[in-house]
Structures are given as structure tokens and as C-alpha cells.
Amino acid sequence: MENKNNRRDFLKRTGLAGIGLVGAGVIPAYASGETGKEKASKGKTIEKQHAQAFNMCGYAAPKVDTVRVGFIGLGSRGPGHVYNMSLLEGVEVKALCDMIPENVEKVRKRIEFAGFNPTLYSGDAEAWKRLCDRPDIDLVYICTPWNLHTPMAVYAMEHGKHVAIEVPAADTLEECWQLVETSERTRKHCQMMENCCYDFFELLTLNMARQGFFGEIVHCEGAYIHNLLNSNFARDGYWNMWRLRENAHRRGNLYPTHGLGPVCQILDINRGDKMEYLVSLMSKDFQMNETAKKMAATDDFYKQFVNNPYRGNMTTTSILTNKGRSIMIQHDVTSPNSYSRIHKVSGTKAAALKYPTPGKISVGDEWVSDEELKAIEEKYAPAIVKKIGEIAKEVGGHGGMDFLVDWRLIDCLRNGLPLDQDCYDAALWSSIAPLSEKSVANRSNSVDVPDFTRGSWKTNQPVDILLEKGGSTKAIRSMPKK
């Protein structure tokens, strides 16, 4: 109860109590005219209340020679991750769980070639807990609707399991703190599986940034611009219309991590720099409520989705870091745009931009030629791409990045290495959604971004996603013919 009350006090002081966490909107304490000394005192109190139990950044858990995995959620993203894992040396798929029996059976058949005999769980809302309770599972992989990610992850960690969670890891700021505090207390890894950090151009620009190609990084951009209007309203799409329900009542940047994750790693956020505050601006909803009305005219099922407080088409979030760098993240999943995650890196010497594809590099005020770009790609190709890139492309899954994120997680666990993305990244990147909701609800006023590392960002070392260590795990099983 003490931790819960402390967290409530923190939320009140940062003006975040109005996001369905601790009641009605609360005016931030720092906006009430206190003196500088009073503000500093409150800052120290918050830091003390959230004293770090154990720093999970750079933490290397004991090696696991054979990683025994249980999967929860086999609708959209889960089946691909199960297949990827079934190709890897040192992995055993022990259990499969989904509410729909047909989903479980379909995935079981898909991995028969690997010789696994997983226990199947389906049709029971509490079955996932029995999977987490099992002593013969090392890693629980969660691919369920967003609102279930944190409850399942916390339960799994408390029962001695490492956790991999599809994006976003949490819906609320309260849940972000739960993930961090549980991971620290149990010393179990909690990785949000942000696959876009492993896309090839993103890895290339990260290596270029590390080697000083861009000079000082000044500004970065990312986005999730993807027309999902029809998918969100399809009755045979997301289970129980869960994604439409998220969009029907939450007004902000609900899916920030695809564009944000790669640029956070370029900026060494949580590892040398941190976010200070953000502002979010959202357009009105031009399409979702109108679509609901059209659907409801011929199908009473959709009447429940008429006149909901839908989030607007476009949300633009701007973030300032402690070192004075800026980040812009956009979100639009209803307008008829071509797919884009943007990925822009702007430095004092050079810049990079992806989307439209392929990615481009500029030096001065001109794009480099195709020949020059090829030479840059060869010079700065990360070790992880050289090691496993071609296999990843062959396996597929968003061009291979799905396989890379799964391969790298297993390689870290088997070699006893720190993970590329830890609980602080999962919490911070996910927190942009509820923080943006707060800013949007308050006429785009600025909102402080919590420091989930509680000061450890000053000494944490940059992430080893480029494969300076590890890389021994092989894809040894023969892939079945497609």
C-alpha cells in the first residue's frame, strides 16, 4: 500500500492524475506558484519515493542454455513470433495459449516440423496464469490486446519468468511504473519487442551515429502513419474489436514506439540523456465516428461505437531532452496515407531520412548519390546485419526485423548478456501515450516525462544492439517450404 500511495503522490505532482489513474484531473503542483526551494524539495521527495531497487540497465541474468518459451496470444502477431523461435538453436516451445482454440491448433501445426509438443491452453480466460505458473518455462511471450500486456507481464515476472511483450508494453503511467518496479524487484527481464529498432536502415543510422557520421545529433523524428480504418472496424479483425475500443476513448498518440524506439537508441535516451517534457497537438476526428455511423446504419452491432470521444486523425508529439535535443513523433491510423514511420536523423554534419523508402543520406544540403549511399552502407553495416541479416530476410516478417528482434532476445538470454531493450525503455516509450493524452486534454500544455531510471541514465552505458557481444545462436532448423 505504501508504494501505491507514493506513486499516487508522484502522479499528482506531475499533473497526471487525470488519465484514469487516480481520479479527476489535478493541477500540477509545480504550476501553483511555489518558490524554487519548494519545487526542488518536491523533486527530491519524488526521487526518494521512487528509489531504484536495482538497476536493470546493463543487468545480465544467468545464462539459459535452452530457453523454454510459453506464448500467450496467437491472433495477429503471436504466430510469427512462435515460428521465428521454432527456427532457433537453444529454444523449446513449451506452451501455446489463446482464447480461440482454432488459433492454438493452427500454430501448433505450423511448428510440427521442429518436433515440439507444446501444451495447449484455450477457451479459458485464466489459462494464461496456469502457463505462467509452470516451473518448466523460462520466458513468457505476450502478444495479447494492449490492456492485458502489463497484468500478464507482472504476473509472469512475479512467478519467476523473463518477459517479452509486444508493443506497447503498457496503457497507463501506473502500468509503466508497475513494469519497472516488478522487473527491478524480481530481477527478471522485461523487454518490449520493438521490432522497428532492428530494421536495416535504422540499424545502419544507429551505427553511423555511434561513429560520429552525423556530428552532434540535433533533432530526430519518427511516426506511425498507417491506414488501419478498415481493419479497426472489421468484425473479423482484432479480437472483440479491442483496437477500435482503444481508439474510441483515448485521445492522444496511442502507438508511439515504432518511430520512437529507433531514435531513442540513436540519442542514448536512458543511457546518457533523458526526456524532460513533451507537448502533444491532436486534430479532430474526421473519419472514425463517421465510419461508425455508416456501419451502424446497416448493422446494429456498430451502434455502440457511434458518438464516442474518438482520438483525432493526426497527433503530433514534440519532446525535449535534457541535452537540448528535440524529437517529433506522429500518429495517424485513419487517414488514407501511404505507410510511414518517418525515421529522420538530423545532425550538425549530416542527416538521414527514410519514408518514402529507400532511406537517404544527405551531406550538406544534397542527398548522396546511389553509389555513395552503397559505399556508406558497406562501411557502416552493423555486425548484427552481417551476422544474421540474410537469414532474417529469408525468414521474413516485416522484411526480416521480426526475426532479428526474436533472434537477438534469445541470443542474449543464452549468453547471459544484458538485453538491448530493458524495462526502462519499455516504460518510457510506452508512457508517451498517456502523457500525450494529458497534454492533448490540457490545450497542448507541456507535461513532464518521468525518469523511470531515477537518475541512473547519467551513468548507464549505451545499448549493445549492434552486436558487439554475443551472436552465437544459430538458426539451425531447416525451414519448411512456404
Domain boundaries, the chain: 2-49, 197-381+424-458
Look-up of cell digits 492524475:
17
pLDDT band at 36 (very low <50, low <70, confident <90, very high): very low
CA torsion, ordered 104, 109, 111, 116, to nearest 10 deg: 80
pLDDT of 354 over the 90 cut: yes
Q: What is the pLDDT of residue 481?
A: 65
CA atoms within 13 A on the CB side of 2: 3
pTM of this prediction exceeds 0.85: yes
- Local structure of residue 400 (DSSP, 8 states): G
Cβ atoms 420, 464 nearer than 8 A:
yes
Residue 480 clears pLDDT 90, i.e. is over it: no
Place of cell 529507433: 262
Round to whole Å and give the CA distance between 254 and 69. 29
Q: What is the mean pLDDT of residues 51-76?
A: 96
| CATH classification for the domain delimited by 197-381+424-458, as one of 3.30.360.10, 3.40.50.2020, 3.40.50.1950, 3.30.43.10 | 3.30.360.10
* Range in 29-33, 97-101, 260-264, 459-463 with the lowest mean pLDDT: 29-33
The confidence score (pLDDT) of residue 286 equals 98
Whole-number Å distance between alpha carbons of 46 and 177:
13
What does the pLDDT average to over 213-227?
98
Of 291, 280, 264, 330, the residue nearest 446 (C-alpha): 280
CA distances from 108 to 38, 129, 463, 477 (A): 60, 20, 35, 16
* Cβ neighbours around 245 below 10 Å, total: 18
SS (H, E, C) 316-349: EEEEEECCCCEEEEEEECCCCCCCECCCEEEECC
400-441 pLDDT, tens digit each: 999 999 999 999 999 999 999 999 999 999 999 999 999 999
How confident is the model over 24-49, as a mean pLDDT? 37
Average pLDDT, the chain: 90
Query: Reduced to 3 states, what is the DSSP secondary structure of residue 98?
Result: strand
Tell whether omega for the bond before 79 is within 30 degrees of 0, i.e. cis. no
pLDDT at 99: 95
Cα dihedral sign, 458-459-462-463: negative
Question: Distance between terminal CA atoms of the chain?
Answer: 53
pLDDT of residue 51: 79
Question: How much of the chain exceeds pLDDT 90, in percent?
Answer: 85
Please, which residues have CB within 8 angstroms of residue 420's CB and are 6 or more apart in sequence? 191, 197, 408, 412, 463, 464, 465
- Compute the average pLDDT of residues 12-35: 32
Residue 190 has pLDDT above 90, yes or no: yes
Beta pairing class for 139-142 and 162-165: parallel
Q: Is the pLDDT of residue 198 over 90?
A: yes
Q: Which residue has the higher pLDDT, 394 or 52?
A: 394
Set of cell numbers at residue 157: 515476472
Which range, of 51-55, 173-177, 230-234, 383-387, averages the lowest pLDDT? 51-55
Span 94-137, pLDDT tens digits:
999 999 999 999 999 999 999 999 999 998 899 999 999 999 99
pLDDT higher than threshold 90 for residue 191? yes
Task: Note the Cα 437 to chain centre separation in Å.
Answer: 17
Determine if residue 225 is left, alpha or beta; phi over 0 gives left, psi from -120 to 50 gives alpha, anything else beta: beta
**253-282: pLDDT as tens digits:** 999 999 999 999 999 999 999 999 999 999
> Does the structure show a pLDDT above 70 at 9?
no
For residue 474, pLDDT over 60 is answered with: yes
Give ∠ CA 4-127-63 in degrees, rounded to 5: 75
